[in-house]
Structure formats: C-alpha cells, structure tokens
C-alpha cells in the first residue's frame, strides 16, 4: 500500500507582532463563479515571501522556514507543509494560481497570525469528548470498538493535561451513551475552555489522521454531497471561526508530529459537537478502524498514548498561539520513491475587502469580511 513517510520539525516563526511586509502591494481581485479570488503572487509578496515559483499547475513561495504551496484545480493547500483542505479549490486565471478570499480570511490569516485573533479567551479548561459510548460502539475492528479506544485516549490525555495545572472536563468518563446535544451543553458551560472530540475513522482501506473544524458560513461541509441552502445558516460555533481554525491547526500538526501517520489534512464540516458549541472546538480522527495497519496501531496502548500526547501538545501550542508566541509546524512529505507531495502555504495579514473596479488600486488595511 502506498504510504507517506513524514519527517517533521516544529519551528518558531516569529510572526506574532509584525505587520505586513514593507513591499505589500495593491490587491488584484479575480472574479470566478461568483467568488473573489486573490493570486498566490499577491499573497506571497504581501507576506514577504519569495516570488512565486511555478511547476506546471503548482505555485509555491517560501522564505526561510516558511513556505506555501498549492496546485490549480486542487483543494489541497499546505502551510509550512501541513496539509489543509481549502473551502474551494485553487484556480488558474491569466497564468496566475489563485485561492478564494474566503480561504485567505478564514484559513490563512488565523493560521499564520493567531495572536491577532480578536477576543480570543484565555484558556484554563479543556473539554475532552470521547466519541460514541454505551450502545453506540462507533467503528469496529477485530481488536475492539471505537468507543473503547476513544475513551482510553481521553483518559490518558486527561492525566497529561491535569499534570500541567489545567482543568479537564469529560463529556463521558465511562462506557455510557451521551447524546450529542448533552455533549455541547457540557462544553458550553466553560467560557474559557476549548473542546477536543476524539474519534477513529472507518471506510475501506483508508489510512491516516485527519482533523475537522467547523465550516464557515456559506462554505459547503466536506462531509456533504455538495452546496446546500443550509450552508448559509448561522451556527453558534461560527462566532469562533478564527479560534476554531487556530485550534484545529495546532491539533492537526501535533497529530502528524506524534503519530507519523499519513496526513489526510485539516477539513471543514458541521458535526453537531463542533457546530453548536460556543468555545473553540476540533474533532480528530486518529486512524482507520477498517484498515488492518491502522487498526493494529489503534489497539496498542503506545499509539493511544501518542494521541494523548498530541492533545497535550495541541493545547499548549494553541495557548501560545493566541498569546504572544506563535508556533507553526513544518512537515516534509515524501513517498517511498522520495518524491515530494504537492503542498501549499499561507501568510500573515490579509487584504482589506475590495471590489475589482477598473482603475482603482485598493490598499490592504485589515482582514476582509470573507462574505
């Protein structure tokens, strides 16, 4: 089976207090399919990266340890080699690769400069949610049910987090069934909390780890068949869009670092437990119960301890990120032949809301609304 070897190093990127690069330029807005797009060239220059390099449909830019990469027609976007899934695939117009302004606002900006997230609450509580429970077994393998493995990870993470002085709340601490609504009700009692749901995947021979954050308003859920009118409904969790993606980034990076599993990316969905909470939240999938290799790992105490350690690291990195320090992951993906996988990246500040009026050169001032 084709697998990725992952070599990863965590680097401090020093992006916390600086403004846009002195060479920040006017933004060129490209209209396509009723949406605004911005060129990778604009983004790279604005964030002080090198000129964009092209390799067929791929566009990349870098500066020191920072790099971004994407490919026209692909939803995959890599920030310092960590894989994100764009709300809309990158496009190519007039020889330029572009990403949507919504992705720039809702993904790139909070990931690259989490310390600039407005009104981010200081964190003193972690709400851990072990998926399924009781009569709801979740995904099954020959080694056991998802509900048991998820609870074990949560109990291990609880011990690690409490050792650092954090308060830990469990939505379930034993093998009982807790409704989705009760899980969100528990989480919403803690204003200075973050929510981390632990699950394991199912589906053929799929492999690897992935993380989910709440889809922004107007963005289709990646678990749906396509766009729906309900995508434009207001969800309670969307008030925390910026914190959600920052927490999900810290969490997904830690998963990839600790487990060395195939990186399936950070994705968007509207699962009830991340849709209806009022604190930052993320849902992780720690491997596939239906894949013989993954399932055997999941059944080992050592692997589940790695997942618990990843949760601890995620919480620590998120708390730094929304303060004065920022920690960004760099992941190098290679396959067995040594070939690098397409990756993408993003930068620090975002362009102001602009309209593509002929002859007008808008200046970047503040992050756009993304609407």
Q: pLDDT at position 151, please?
A: 98
State which H helix or E strand residue 7 sits in: strand 4-12
- Which pLDDT tens digit goes with each residue over 317-347? 999 988 733 344 444 443 333 343 443 333 3
What is the Cα–Cα distance from 364 to 269, expressed in whole angstroms?
30
Q: pLDDT at position 224, please?
A: 62
DSSP β-ladder status, 66-71 and 76-79: antiparallel
**Which of 46-50, 190-194, 257-261 has the weakest average pLDDT?**
46-50
Q: Work out the average pLDDT over 337-359.
A: 36
What is the Cα–Cα distance from 260 to 8, expressed in whole angstroms?
8
Residues 6+ away with beta carbon under 8 Å from 269: 212, 213, 214, 215, 221, 222, 223, 283
- Is the per-residue pLDDT at 292 higher than 80? yes
**Token reading at 358:** 């002929």
Q: Is domain 125-321 given the CATH code 3.40.50.1980 in the classification?
A: no
For the chain, what's the residue count?
A: 371
> Which DSSP state fits 252?
H
Q: Work out the average pLDDT over 142-171.
A: 98
**Token reading at 321:** 């990120």
Average pLDDT, the chain: 82
DSSP H helical segments within 104-222, as ranges? 109-112, 146-162, 180-187
Q: Is domain 4-113+331-335 given the CATH code 3.30.457.10 in the classification?
A: yes
Gyration radius from the chain CA atoms: 20
* Angle (nearest 5°) at CA 123 between 122 and 127: 150
What is the Cα–Cα distance from 318 to 243, expressed in whole angstroms?
9
Query: Does the pTM of the predicted model rise above 0.75?
Result: yes
**Token reading at 154:** 């949560």
287 Rama sector, left if φ>0, alpha if ψ -120 to 50, beta otherwise: left
> Which DSSP state fits 108?
I
- Which pLDDT tens digit goes with each residue over 44-95? 988 888 999 999 999 999 988 889 999 999 999 999 999 999 999 999 999 9
Q: Work out the average pLDDT over 306-321.
A: 96
Three-state DSSP state, 146: helix
Give residue limits of the domains in the chain. Answer: 4-113+331-335, 125-321
């Amino acid at each position: 089976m084709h697998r990725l070897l992952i070599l990863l190093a965590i680097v401090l990127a020093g992006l916390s207090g600086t403004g846009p690069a002195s060479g920040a330029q006017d933004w060129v807005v490209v209209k396509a399919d009723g949406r605004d797009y911005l060129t990778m060239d604009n983004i790279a220059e604005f964030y002080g990266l090198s000129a964009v390099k092209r390799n067929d449909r791929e566009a990349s830019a870098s500066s020191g340890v920072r790099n971004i990469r994407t490919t026209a027609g692909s939803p995959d976007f890599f920030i310092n080699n960590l894989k994100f899934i764009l709300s809309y695939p990158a496009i190519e117009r007039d020889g330029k690769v572009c990403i949507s302004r919504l992705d720039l606002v809702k993904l790139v900006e909070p990931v690259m400069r989490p310390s600039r997230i407005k009104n981010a609450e200081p964190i003193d509580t972690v709400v851990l949610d072990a998926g399924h429970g009781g009569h709801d077994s979740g995904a099954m393998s020959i080694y056991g049910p998802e509900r048991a493995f998820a609870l074990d990870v949560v109990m291990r993470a609880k011990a690690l987090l409490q050792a650092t002085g954090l308060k830990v709340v469990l939505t379930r601490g034993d093998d009982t069934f807790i409704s989705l609504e009760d899980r969100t009700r528990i989480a919403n009692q803690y204003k200075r909390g973050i929510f981390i749901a632990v699950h394991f995947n199912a589906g053929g021979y799929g492999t690897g780890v992935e993380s989910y954050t709440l889809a922004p308003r107007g963005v289709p859920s990646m678990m749906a068949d396509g766009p729906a009118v309900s995508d434009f409904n207001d969800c309670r969790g969307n008030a925390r869009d910026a914190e959600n993606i920052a927490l999900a980034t810290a969490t997904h990076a830690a998963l990839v670092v600790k487990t060395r599993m195939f990186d399936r990316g950070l994705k968007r969905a509207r699962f009830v437990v991340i849709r209806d909470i009022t604190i930052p939240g993320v849902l992780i999938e720690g491997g596939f119960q239906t894949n013989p290799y993954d399932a055997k790992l999941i059944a080992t105490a050592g692997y589940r301890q790695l997942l618990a350690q990843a949760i601890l690291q995620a919480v620590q990195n998120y708390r730094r990120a929304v303060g004065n320090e920022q920690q960004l992951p760099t992941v190098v993906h290679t396959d067995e032949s040594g070939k690098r996988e397409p990756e993408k990246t993003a930068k620090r500040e975002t362009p102001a809301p602009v309209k593509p009026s002929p002859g007008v050169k808008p200046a970047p001032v503040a992050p756009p609304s993304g609407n």
